[in-house]
Chains A and B, each alone.
Chain A
């Protein structure tokens, strides 16, 4: 498994770098002071609960919204994207939760939908079939038949088709919006394996999730968001899975909750003690909640 020291040489600018980026909708601060970078062959995980600002962050990176403060650089060049198409032209592709596939259509038709390969007035179907089969094999999906409707694939496989489609059409950075959210344990494992595969092929991956157990095994960097602010930004060596879990669970709040329970009376005292122990075990006291410089 790759570790952070496999990161590209310091001379190469990261594929995507946000510095102190923020977004205001009128007088609402949806996102403030976020730092994030992803290089080739790296996975940066963005963790946060609902409403933490994950969607705003991906929308900025994907070109749906523009950041209002800070800078956004792609390969060292500062950018202001006005459309997803522009982001795509810079090699930044987003795989959304609904995947943008048409369930009744064969896998190969979905793979090339909107980017059909033409041969004269018709499509080059043999080429598209062969390419779909090969690209999916490269991602480790061995399909029996690329003519089967994509709706007959499992959720994880569909996710992987969407990922390999983005890779084939020139993505250098993949933004995966909660790819494991709707999946069972086994299917999530399949998707995580493809994230590793994409990384090993030299892509930068921004993996949005609310599950630290999914993020930790594959991630090189971890950005925690809460209420539009960065709660912490860690390299893999600087944080353990338990610490990540604790942070996600809102360690400080857990501690507060345990105090509240203590005061509530004898019946709650036991629960309070257990919670307190757990907080201690998770090592929340050890984790600083400040931004890493």
Chain B
């Protein structure tokens, strides 16, 4: 042992040069290592299927409404994906959307305040829900699945009980005549048309959120930390990453996106049903998983989650356009999602083997 060590010349430092072994990796194989590529292939297949079987699906107006539906699920899915990459779940996100809308609506109505006051109060409440979820998870060490399952039921109960106690009804009062409603509606729920095609403003917000979140995830220190806390929290802590703060921050980001979606619902429909939103948390999670986020954390992409939400939107609308019995919607949705997930994991394994 000692003789081999003494005689073996230590490799001399060399200047980094373009590595000849890199040539083997073509652009295609590099592309295939991206987490969102499985979802992208799935989305293309589903698009082609509906394009073939449902003539109304081919129209631009249909695409616009598909994108609208996708955006209402895609906006919270942005934060849910970040949270999943950070290694946690939030099952309360679906009802937190409703809670945000209820708070803004009832606060402004009961105090006859400007709508914007209600909007801001609701933002504080939504961030607080996220903070409590995150704080409980990092301080108790209980899996976020259980902690947020608890807050999910609590919010569900609160939504109904408080709404009934205040309005005497299961829905809030119409707020469309309140001060500030028109301007808030322009921000959260307006639409405009380009070349005769109506575009909902949520689509623009969705694109903005996806772009910002992707930039944060891939280009900033916070993004590095998100991958690290999801991939190996103990290692991240050992090299000085503030693991608890990152996780709490991610739960609050989910709170923020839930708030934004809640505001859209409030200003699009003027009144809020206290029982809605249940089950949507699964669609956000499914969008993230279909988009290539690893359920165990540390790997994934926000663009993938956006494609996942788009797959949901296409299926949701496509079945109607194809004239299929909508009773079958959830069956088709489940089958398509399962297919997308299988494709995704197949592509990822191939991509990993190629490296």
Residues of A within 8 A of B (CB): 1, 96, 98-105, 109, 112-116, 118, 121-123, 125, 130, 133-134, 137-138, 140, 142, 144-145, 148, 152, 189, 192-193, 196-197, 200, 213-214, 216-218, 241
Task: Decide: A100 and B228 in contact? CB cutoff 8 A.
Answer: no
Contacts of A189 in B (CB 8 A): 1, 4-5
A-contacting residues, B1-58, CB 8 Å: 1-2, 4-6, 8, 10-11, 13-16, 19, 21-22, 25
Task: Decide: A105 and B227 in contact? CB cutoff 8 A.
Answer: yes
Task: Decide: A114 and B5 in contact? CB cutoff 8 A.
Answer: no
Task: Decide: B19 and A145 in contact? CB cutoff 8 A.
Answer: yes
Task: Decide: B6 and A1 in contact? CB cutoff 8 A.
Answer: yes
User: What per-residue 1/0 map shows which CB atoms of B213-227 lie under 8 Å from chain A?
Assistant: 001000111001001
Closest CB in chain B relative to A268 CB, distance in Å: 33
Task: Decide: A144 and B221 in contact? CB cutoff 8 A.
Answer: no
For the complex, what is the distance from the CA of A174 to the CA of B344, rounded to whole Å? 43
Task: Decide: B13 and A137 in contact? CB cutoff 8 A.
Answer: yes
Closest CB in chain A relative to B249 CB, distance in Å: 16
For the complex, what is the distance from the CA of A122 to the CA of B220, rounded to whole Å? 4
List, sorted by A's number, 10 A–B pairs whose CB atoms are closer than 8 Å: A1-B6, A100-B234, A101-B235, A104-B227, A104-B294, A115-B239, A116-B224, A122-B220, A144-B19, A189-B1
Of B231, B238, B355, which is within 8 A of A105 by CB?
B231
For the complex, what is the distance from the CA of A200 to the CA of B10, rounded to whole Å? 10
For the complex, what is the distance from the CA of A208 to the CA of B219, rounded to whole Å? 38
User: What per-residue 1/0 map shows which CB atoms of B221-253 lie under 8 Å from chain A?
Assistant: 100100110011011101111000000000000
Closest CB in chain B relative to A7 CB, distance in Å: 18
For the complex, what is the distance from the CA of A112 to the CA of B225, rounded to whole Å? 11
Task: Decide: B241 and A113 in contact? CB cutoff 8 A.
Answer: yes
For the complex, what is the distance from the CA of A262 to the CA of B355, rounded to whole Å? 60
User: How many A-B pairs with Cβ below 8 Å?
Assistant: 101
Task: Decide: A145 and B5 in contact? CB cutoff 8 A.
Answer: no
> B130 within 8 Å of A by Cβ?
no
Of B6, B15, B19, B240, which is within 8 A of A114 by CB?
B240
Task: Decide: B298 and A98 in contact? CB cutoff 8 A.
Answer: no
> B188 within 8 Å of A by Cβ?
no
Closest CB in chain A relative to B16 CB, distance in Å: 5
Of B5, B294, B298, which is within 8 A of A217 by CB?
B5
Task: Decide: A193 and B219 in contact? CB cutoff 8 A.
Answer: no
> B206 within 8 Å of A by Cβ?
no
Task: Decide: B355 and A148 in contact? CB cutoff 8 A.
Answer: yes
Contacts of B239 in A (CB 8 A): 100, 113-115
With most chain B CB atoms within 10 A of its CB, the pick from A118, A122, A130, A133 is A122
Q: A189-B5, A196-B5, A217-B1 are in contact. Are A102 and B227 (CB under 8 A)?
A: yes
Task: Decide: A134 and B16 in contact? CB cutoff 8 A.
Answer: yes
Residue of A nearest to B240 (CB): A114
For the complex, what is the distance from the CA of A116 to the CA of B224, rounded to whole Å? 8
With most chain A CB atoms within 10 A of its CB, the pick from B8, B13, B224, B240 is B224
> B299 within 8 Å of A by Cβ?
yes
Task: Decide: A196 and B10 in contact? CB cutoff 8 A.
Answer: yes
Closest CB in chain B relative to A18 CB, distance in Å: 24
Of A96, A109, A214, which is within 8 A of B238 by CB?
A96
With most chain A CB atoms within 10 A of its CB, the pick from B15, B220, B221 is B221
